[in-house]
Amino acid sequence: MPFDPAVIRASFAVVERRADQLTKFFYAHLFTNNPGVEELFPARLAEQRDRLFAALTQLVVRLEEPEKLTGYLAALGRDHRKFQAAPEHYPAVGASLIAALKHFSGHYWTPEIEKAWLEAYTVISQAMIDAAAAVPESTPRWWDAEVVGHRRAAPDLAVLTLRPDRPYPYTAGQYLTVCSDRRPQVWRPYSVACAPRPDHTLELHVRRVPDGLLSTALVDEVRRGERLRLGPPLGEAVLDPHSERPLLMVAAGTGWAPVKALLERLAQDGGRPATVFVAARGDEDQYDLDAVHDLVKEHAWLHAVLSAPERGASRSEAARLLREGLAGYGDCSGHDVHLAGPPDLVPAVRAQLLQQGAESEHVRHDPVTASFNRSRPLTPAEWFLEERDVPWINRTELG
């Protein structure tokens, strides 16, 4: 590694509290100096700026962990194919990034720091370019998929059935990213809620989030017959194909989607002892109970525990009820554990189950962030002081 990670980390600390201004400067510089590039980005850039800074942060914290950085960059490079990112775009991005860092570093910026960032960006960009180039030409940048079913499962939640234009090569437990012409260049991640089917259709469970660009369109606007774009499959929270250990699964909210896919996969493989906790804020939020009951009725190896407080209870009460239920489960040693749910809940449940004997290497879930604060910061100080979950960021970019 030709650059000094300590120099990068120290210089990043100087600008991170001015993240919002830095990313605004970056995009203004990029679009001004590279006509036509703006067409590759969504019209509303506030979320894109969050995305950029989150990715930068992840890169900086991984600089001294080459094995993690390599995998992270490879996943980013492959995933950026769907954005139509080309090798010639990377130098332009690098020039705008250096310009933004230099501008907001003020007198802290030195030739040594600039050299370190240039060297780091060269390594980073080349790794992403190489990863994208290594994808077989036969693999599409995205799949076009027709909406063949749209069912409102709750006031703020829709179940979508999609038929891709060609077989979609995913494994149960993975997620994908979705884009609609109703919100051009806006991609969001959603878990696939079914194991691979003979008819190649996919099921997604989409909850509308406040001010959510794509989720609002998918829940309220998209109709049967429309087409969506699907990015390549992502994620490693899949079943261990060589394991015969009993399974413990926790599905909170729309976390039921990937767990449902895993259970369907288990059924196809003949099953093994599995207990799933289906948690929600209330009975009305357990939107797919018919599917839960059908799976339990059909498979003797499956046991389901429904966890929901009385109507009107707080979110914390729902979490407490789930924790108590899991505590009653007892010893988790020798289990494969799968967790899916809100980003603030998964780490807490993981910590509890580790205390109950679960082995870390046998606990699987999608990447999560450190907190769950969906408000946008109003001042540079808030950027610096608050750890925030950014729900629209592709989970790949969170590691």
The pLDDT score that the predictor gives to residue 262 is: 98
At residue 162, the pLDDT reads 98
CA dihedral 251, 150, 294, 326 (to 10 degrees): 10
Cβ burial of 346 (10 Å; 0-12, 13-18, 19+) is buried
Residues 6 or more apart whose CB falls under 8 angstroms from that of 78 comprise 131, 132, 135, 232
| CB-based contact 280:256 (threshold 8 Å) | no
Q: Say how far residue 184 (Cα) sits from the centre of its chain.
A: 19
- pLDDT tens digits, one per residue of 139-174: 999 999 999 999 999 999 999 999 999 999 999 999
Instruction: Locate the DSSP E strands across the chain.
Output: 143-154, 157-164, 175-180, 187-191, 202-207, 227-230, 247-252, 274-279, 302-307, 336-340, 363-364
| Residue 131: per-residue pLDDT | 94
- What one-character DSSP code corresponds to residue 20? H
Q: 55-63 long-range contacts, Cβ below 8 Å, gap at least 24?
A: 55/393, 55/397, 56/12, 57/12, 57/16, 58/397, 58/398, 58/399, 59/124, 60/8, 60/9, 60/12, 62/399, 63/1, 63/5, 63/8, 63/9, 63/120
pLDDT tens per residue across all 399 residues of the chain:
567 888 999 999 899 888 889 999 999 999 999 998 988 888 777 777 777 787 888 788 788 777 778 888 888 899 889 988 899 999 999 999 999 999 999 999 999 999 999 999 999 999 999 999 999 988 999 999 999 999 999 999 999 999 999 999 999 999 999 999 999 888 999 999 999 999 999 999 999 988 888 999 999 999 999 999 999 998 999 999 999 999 999 999 999 999 999 999 999 999 999 999 999 887 778 899 999 999 999 999 999 999 988 877 788 888 999 999 999 999 999 999 999 998 889 999 999 999 999 999 999 999 875 443 444 444 444 444 444 444 434 444 443
pLDDT tens-place string over residues 337-360: 999 998 889 999 999 999 999 999
Helix (H, G, I), strand (E, B) or coil at 368: coil
- Residue reference for tokens 């130098």: 91
Domains of the chain, each with CATH number or no CATH: 5-137+377-398 (1.10.490.10), 143-230 (2.40.30.10), 247-364 (3.40.50.80)
In three-state secondary structure terms, 345 is helix
pTM value > 0.75? yes
Rounded Cα distance, 221 and 216, in Å: 7
- How many CA atoms within 13 Å lie on the side-chain side of 150? 16
Q: What is the tens place of the pLDDT at every residue in 367-390?
A: 875 443 444 444 444 444 444 444
